[in-house]
Structures are given as structure tokens and as C-alpha cells.
């Protein structure tokens, strides 16, 4: 058949042939994380893409992440195994409506969470990720009003942490907004010594139970360094793969969503598979491309983010 028996070996060979680098987000399925050269949160992935030496970047994540790699690398081919791997949060902020929203607040600085399209980035002054959002807002003079888009939950959390009054775009992530507070409290009763660690895209009624809030890399580091032996992990369950590898003796319990499932996977992230990765590398498609004027406009706030995160 067209699909080789040993996909891992075939992918390794193609990687050599193409002089490709494989970048993966922590929400990818474990097999995909295992073939990656670099696994990270959105900040780490952006920094890695910005300093990439390979000829081809194979991105295991969602569309806005692959776009981010392309923003920094106009002359490299950026492959995404499934172009339909979108993001509900990025989709919750359409460019035309965002332009109207921006026009209503002409004095405001626009800080956008990286989970948005290149078109929204192009309309923004600074990009941030969940790892640096608080630090970036803290670098803005207090008298400067700020629009924060598109995630209202991260926005609310950043407003709380910085004491700033942010004008929020009302977007949300379908994965993080469906965690069940009731089930989380029940789980904590079953495991009273477990620490609750959560991603800031979660709703406030869930975040208020968290002992630690951070980006996926932040959560991973917290599990490694905390003296606790058990953690209830309130984010996409893919991150548990690396957590368990790095802290094999610790108990990691995925928090349940409110939809009857035991764990919580991002349907967009999970569209990428090992087989689609192999086919994308073999046929050098599907590829993420960007209009050059949008790319240049989006590069400016991305570069500002990297400069402000040093």
C-alpha cells in the first residue's frame, strides 16, 4: 500500500531528505509528540520558528500556529498535515468585526493573544501568549488603555493579575470553557492532596480552584518542580504525555469536561495524525501560505512580543 509499515522510520527518512524540522504543540497526540524535534507552548514554538535553520518546517499544531511559523519564515515551506486543523478561539474573532471593534476604541493599544489569525495579528500592536501576557501588559504605561483579544478568559485573568481595566473581545476556547467545576470539586475530594493546575483559557469558576495557573510549558515545569506527588490537570489532556515522561512517579489526573467524556481533547489539534504527517512530508502539501502584506503587518507585533519577552 501507499502507507509504509514503519511510519516512524519513513518520517525520519523524509526529514533528512527535506532538511525539515518538526515542531509540535503539547496538545498533539503522543505519537506526534514523539517524532517532533521540538515540543513547546506557543511562545516556545514562536521563538523556535523565528530561529529556524531548516529548509522545511513541518508544524504539528493548528493553523494559526503554522501561520506564525510562516510569518517568520517567508522563504521556507511550512507544512501542516491537516489544513482543517483550525481553532475555535481564532475563529471567534473575524477580521471585519474586529476592525469595527477596534474603530470604537481608537486610543487603545491592541494586544492580541497569539491564538488568532494572521489577519487579526496584522491589526494588532503586540502579540502575547499565555506565558507572557501578564508580563507584556505590565510593560505598558498605566495610562494607556488596552484592547485585549480574542480570549475573554485569559483577558479577565490578565486584568486581575495586572490590576488593569482591559477592553475584552468576547472569544473563548471550546476545550477550556467546558471543564466542569462540579466534577473538578468532586475530583479534589477524591484526591485531597492533589494540586489543581489550570490553563488561563479556563473559565473563572474553574480558575478560582487552581493552585497554579500557567501556559502548557508553565504547567509542565510546575509539575516537575513542585513537591506534590499528584496533580489534577485542567487543560487539553495531550500535555500529560510529556508531564508523565518528565515526572514518571507523579500521579497526573485529567480534569473532566461537562460533556460526559472522561478527558478533554481539542478536536482541531487531533485532526493531525502520524499518517497525515507522513503524506504531507512525502507530497510536500498541504502548505500554509500568507499574503505578503498581511505577513509583514503581522510580523511587526510578533517581533515586538519576542523583544518584550527577553
- Under rule CB under 6 A, how many of the chain's residues touch ligand SF4? 13
Tell me if 268 contacts ligand SF4 by CB under 6 A: yes
- Identify the residue among 87, 93, 196, 197 touching ligand SF4 (CB under 6 A): 87
Residue 145 neighbours by CB distance under 10 Å: 13
Q: Which does 77 bind (CB under 5 to 8 A by kind): ligand 13P, ligand SF4, none?
A: none
Residue 25 marked in a binding site: yes
Shortest distance in whole angstroms from residue 151 CB to ligand SF4: 8
In the region spanning residues 157 to 186, those forming contacts with ligand SF4, defined by CB under 6 A, are: 173-175
Residue 114 marked in a binding site: yes
The candidate with the shortest Cα–Cα distance to 137, out of 118, 104, 169, 159, is 159
Q: Which is nearer to ligand 13P, 13 or 203 (CB)?
A: 203
Residue 42 marked in a binding site: yes
Residue 128 marked in a binding site: no
Shortest distance in whole angstroms from residue 67 CB to ligand SF4: 13
Residue 197 marked in a binding site: no
Query: In the stretch 211-250, what mask flags binding to ligand SF4 with x, by CB under 6 A?
Result: -------------------------x--------------
Tell me if 82 contacts ligand SF4 by CB under 6 A: no
- Identify the residue among 33, 88, 162, 272 touching ligand SF4 (CB under 6 A): 88
Q: Which is nearer to ligand SF4, 14 or 45 (CB)?
A: 45
Binding site for ligand SF4 (CB under 6 A): 27, 62, 87-89, 115, 173-175, 236, 266, 268-269
Amino acid at each position: 500500500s501507499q502507507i509504509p509499515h514503519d511510519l516512524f522510520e519513513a518520517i525520519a527518512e523524509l526529514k533528512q531528505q527535506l532538511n525539515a524540522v518538526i515542531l509540535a504543540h503539547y496538545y498533539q497526540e503522543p505519537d506526534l509528540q514523539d517524532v517532533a524535534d521540538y515540543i513547546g507552548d506557543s511562545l516556545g514554538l514562536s521563538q523556535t520558528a523565528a530561529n529556524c535553520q531548516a529548509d522545511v518546517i513541518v508544524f504539528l499544531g493548528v493553523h494559526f500556529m503554522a501561520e506564525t511559523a510562516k510569518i517568520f519564515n517567508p522563504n521556507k515551506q511550512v507544512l501542516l498535515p491537516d489544513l482543517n486543523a483550525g481553532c475555535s478561539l481564532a475563529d471567534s474573532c473575524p477580521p471585519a468585526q474586529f476592525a469595527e471593534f477596534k474603530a470604537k476604541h481608537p486610543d487603545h493599544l491592541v494586544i492580541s493573544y497569539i491564538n488568532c489569525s494572521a489577519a487579526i495579528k496584522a491589526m494588532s500592536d503586540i502579540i502575547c501568549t499565555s506565558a507572557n501576557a501578564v508580563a507584556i501588559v505590565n510593560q505598558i504605561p498605566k495610562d494607556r488603555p488596552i484592547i485585549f483579544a480574542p480570549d475573554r478568559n485569559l483577558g479577565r485573568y490578565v486584568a486581575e493579575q495586572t490590576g488593569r481595566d482591559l477592553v475584552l473581545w468576547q472569544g473563548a476556547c471550546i476545550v477550556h470553557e467546558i471543564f466542569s467545576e462540579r466534577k473538578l470539586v468532586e475530583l479534589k475530594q477524591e484526591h485531597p492532596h492533589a494540586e489543581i493546575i489550570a490553563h488561563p483559557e479556563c473559565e473563572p469558576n474553574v480558575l478560582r480552584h487552581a493552585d497554579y495557573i500557567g501556559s502548557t510549558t508553565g504547567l509542565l515545569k510546575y509539575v516537575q518542580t513542585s513537591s506534590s506527588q499528584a496533580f489534577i490537570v485542567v487543560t487539553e489532556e495531550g500535555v500529560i504525555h510529556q508531564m508523565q515522561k518528565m515526572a514518571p512517579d507523579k500521579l497526573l489526573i485529567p480534569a473532566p469536561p461537562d460533556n460526559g467524556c472522561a478527558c478533554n481533547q481539542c478536536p482541531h489539534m487531533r485532526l493531525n495524525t502520524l499518517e497525515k504527517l507522513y503524506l504531507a512530508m512525502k507530497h510536500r502539501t498541504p502548505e500554509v501560505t500568507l499574503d505578503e502584506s498581511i505577513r509583514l503587518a503581522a510580523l511587526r507585533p510578533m517581533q515586538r512580543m519576542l523583544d518584550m519577552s527577553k
